[in-house]
A and B are shown apart, each in its own frame.
Chain A
Amino acid sequence: MSSTTTPRLDVRKTYKLFVGGKFPRSESGRTYEITTAEGTFAANAALASRKDARDAVRAARAAQPGWAGATAYNRGQVLYRVAELLEGRRAQFVGDVAAGEGVSAKKAEELVSAAIDRWVWYAGWTDKVAQVAGNANPVAGPYFNLSVPEPTGVVAVLAPQASSLLGLVSVLAPVLVSGNSVVVLSSQDRPLPAVTLSEVLATSDVPGGVVNVLTGRTAEVAPHLAAHMDVNAIDLAGALGADGITWGELEADAAENLKRVRRPAGETEGDWLDTQSLEAILAFTETKTVWHPKGM
């Protein structure tokens, strides 16, 4: 070995998808290049096809009853554990966000902190949603009449295009709270925080298949998720600013099986700093009302 300092070879990463708790390559075998905001090479990501979307929905469908069946308290613990792991990966997230979104390190720190805090905030809601959104209805008869929010089922989430971590957490975490399973299609050009999040989820206690992360072209995959008959709801946040697709077209596709649709707020993507709300949780719940006779 020479004693002069030679430049180290780059370790160029090629990330994979996250489906059913595993990290498969795209069924199509394709990848695409991710660049930083400055245009330099960042990593390769898997370019998901419609068949990957189908596999992800299948995994989400299989995992959903188990996740919904876990106690609300347990779901809260599991989600809080994810926040702990996010905190442990803080430096990597800050690096990904700063490079991908082209913001300063200080701003990236702020965004990552907001994302982790938001995750904790939603984790706390799991065993409180039913108390706030549920009700003992007064009825004219000797019955208990109870309304409780239940998960919608399998939810497809198009993650925001610009805000790669905070935006992602803002649309993903609330869906998980009530017991839905999720297929996330990450930001097309800034998927790395979503990939890192899937690595976090894989080592957390979230059961495999509850969250599935696809990376790829929004216009290619989103229509198949929107039209998929086994997807119960879709969040169209990521349709804003996506090339070649509009949320109106996706909403029309989603109408075929009466999917619950959450439209993007506004005409352009906001900064996501002030968007956590109970409404985001309730958007993907169904109210179940039961009648039960009262003892005389």
Chain B
Amino acid sequence: MATTTTAPAPSSTGGTHPATRSAQQVSADASGVVGSDQLSNAALRTFLHGLPGVDAVGLAGRAAQLGSRSIKTTAKAWGLDTVISMIDLTTLEGADTPGKVRSLVAKALTPQPGDASCPRPAAVCVYGDRVQIAKEALGGAPIAVAAVATGFPAGRAGTAARLADTQDAVDAGADEIDMVIDRGAFLAGDYRKVYDDIVAVREVCQSRAEPAHLKVILETGELATNDNVRRASWLAMLAGADFIKTSTGKVSPAATLPVTVLMLEAVRDFLAATGVQVGVKPAGGIRSAKDALKYLVAVNEVAGEAWLDPEFFRFGASSLLNDVLLQRLKLTSGVYSGTDYVTID
């Protein structure tokens, strides 16, 4: 966890960690990139619509090519462990009982009983009102608690309600906040509203002595075009996102490899433009270890090795962990394992 410091702290690559910037720095960085002090709707539109268009066929081809690598033996073992350490183990159901949250935490604490070398997931991801339960169950274990907020998953609530939702989660001790952008405003072209919204939520996250990291969910399945995904990525990063996240998992299609490649290009370019390294979190629809390894390849090839770190890349998933554990068992024992040997979630 990064702590508040007066000067921006460099991350491992030399890029600044986004959570360490003050609101003024965020705003100054945004003005610098957009080329306007006002950051008016017109200025944002000029900038966002001036971003190069996305070649959809080329993007799909690039993603397919990245997905065709063969990863075996020791590289696979490393990849599987890295995937586990990047998972935000998630339960986001209306039916989340305290018991279900506690069992999720137990799974995060000991993903593979009997194998102490198995890494733990980076975080557990729950609804805001379950943060306290998750925190208590975790004790002092070094696993973050992420909370979805701002009227997740639709985000169709008034600003006050969205901020109060965030404040609740921050007060309950959430280490990370997963907010949703106002897709309605974004699609209507009201970029300034989306920007202000993210800035306001960031302010709530930063209001604590140890600020909560902010992940901004774009819900790419509702943005309709790749160009919109690129614009939304930039808009979220300009407004001070620590992570840009593909989806809520409640809308289909959720995370896809092409969309993730597109967002990785955006964070790479943002680092070049501002010196700030933003993370990426694909969420929803990644169920197999094989798919997850394809994402790791994409991270390495598109954004770079600096992103192969739970601080800058996460998987939002629930069933993925079990499949990775089965693959891990296969690697260590040499025989195919079965679902009888992992927990039922």
List residues of chain A with CB under 8 Å of any chain B CB: 50, 53-54, 57, 61, 224, 227-231, 256
Contact = CB atoms under 8 A, between A and B. Distances in A.
Nearest to B339: A230
A219 B340 CA distance: 27
Nearest to B329: A229
A51 B66 CA distance: 22
A57 B336 contact: yes
B68 to A, nearest CB: 14
Nearest to B341: A229
B132 interface: no
Interface residues of B, number: 9
A227 B339 contact: no
Contacts of A256: 335
Given A61-B339, A229-B329, A230-B339, 16 more contacts: A53-B336, A54-B336, A61-B338, A224-B335, A227-B334, A227-B335, A228-B335, A228-B338, A229-B335, A229-B336, A229-B337, A229-B340, A230-B337, A230-B338, A230-B340, A256-B335
Interface string B320-345: 00000000010000111111110000
Interface in B29-65: none
A256 B329 CA distance: 14
A228 B336 contact: yes
Contacts of A57: 336, 338
A231 B341 CA distance: 12
B290 to A, nearest CB: 11
Contacts of B335: 224, 227-229, 256
Nearest to A57: B336
A230 B336 CA distance: 7
A50 B341 CA distance: 20
Contacts of A50: 336
Interface of B is mostly: loop
B114 to A, nearest CB: 14
A176 B337 CA distance: 23
Interface in B133-148: none
Contacts of B329: 229
A223 B242 CA distance: 49
Contacts of A228: 335-336, 338
29 contacts: A50-B336, A53-B336, A54-B336, A57-B336, A57-B338, A61-B338, A61-B339, A224-B335, A224-B336, A227-B334, A227-B335, A227-B336, A228-B335, A228-B336, A228-B338, A229-B329, A229-B335, A229-B336, A229-B337, A229-B338, A229-B340, A229-B341, A230-B336, A230-B337, A230-B338, A230-B339, A230-B340, A231-B338, A256-B335
Contacts of B338: 57, 61, 228-231
B91 to A, nearest CB: 23
Contacts of B337: 229-230
A228 B333 CA distance: 11
B333 to A, nearest CB: 8
A81 B334 CA distance: 40
Interface in B297-339: 329, 334-339
Nearest to A54: B336
A61 B340 CA distance: 11
Report, nearest first, the 4 A-B pairs whose CB atoms are least far apart: A230-B338, A227-B335, A228-B336, A229-B337
A227 B339 CA distance: 15
B213 to A, nearest CB: 37
B73 to A, nearest CB: 15
Contacts of B340: 229-230
A144 to B, nearest CB: 30
A229 B334 CA distance: 11
A294 B329 CA distance: 47
Nearest to B336: A228
Contacts of A231: 338
Contacts of B334: 227
**Interface core residue of A53, A228, A229 (most chain B CB under 10 Å):** A229
B223 to A, nearest CB: 33
A6 B338 CA distance: 56
A230 B337 CA distance: 6
A153 to B, nearest CB: 10
A232 to B, nearest CB: 9
Contacts of B341: 229
Contacts of A224: 335-336
Contacts of A229: 329, 335-338, 340-341
Nearest to A231: B338
A54 B335 CA distance: 10
B344 to A, nearest CB: 14
Nearest to B335: A227
Contacts of B339: 61, 230
A8 B329 CA distance: 54
A54 B327 CA distance: 12
A220 B134 CA distance: 47
B175 to A, nearest CB: 36
